Amino acid sequence: MRQGHWKTRPYQAFKVSIWNRRPYSIFYDFDLGTRCLFEIDGLLYTDQVSAVRMYYDESTPKTFDITIGTGGDMEDPLGQVVRTIQTMWNAIGTIFGSNDLF
């Protein structure tokens, strides 16, 4: 049940397209990892810029696609802990289990 609850939890990620001009310029006023305050439907949100992608072609001006928040689903924290413990246990088993090394 815990894993199902983690997979169905709500999280927010927004993708926007912007032009790089005043009053704020990308890579000058803000960059990857910068915490930004933005408004959607009258509500203010604060989150980090997690991805920046430049897009241009012959008929449109240069625009940047910005992802705010986590762009994808993160891994379960308990799963991260179990994987770390497995890695450490395998390292200990490799060190002490090899009779030809010592």
Range of the domain at 32: 2-72
Region of residue 27 (left: phi > 0; alpha: psi -120 to 50; beta: else):
left
Tens digit of pLDDT for each residue in 15-36? 777 777 777 888 888 888 888 8
| Token pair belonging to 10 | 């709500």
Is the per-residue pLDDT at 78 higher than 70? yes
Which residue bears the tokens 């991260």? 80
The verdict on residue 49 lying in a domain is: yes
Q: Is residue 79 part of a domain?
A: no
Residue 78 within a domain: no
Classify residue 31: in a domain, yes or no.
yes
Instruction: Name the band, by pLDDT with cuts 50, 70 and 90, for residue 100.
Output: low
Counted domains in the chain: 1
Q: What does pTM read for this prediction? A: 0.52
> Does some domain include residue 43?
yes
Is 93 part of a structural domain of the chain?
Answer: no
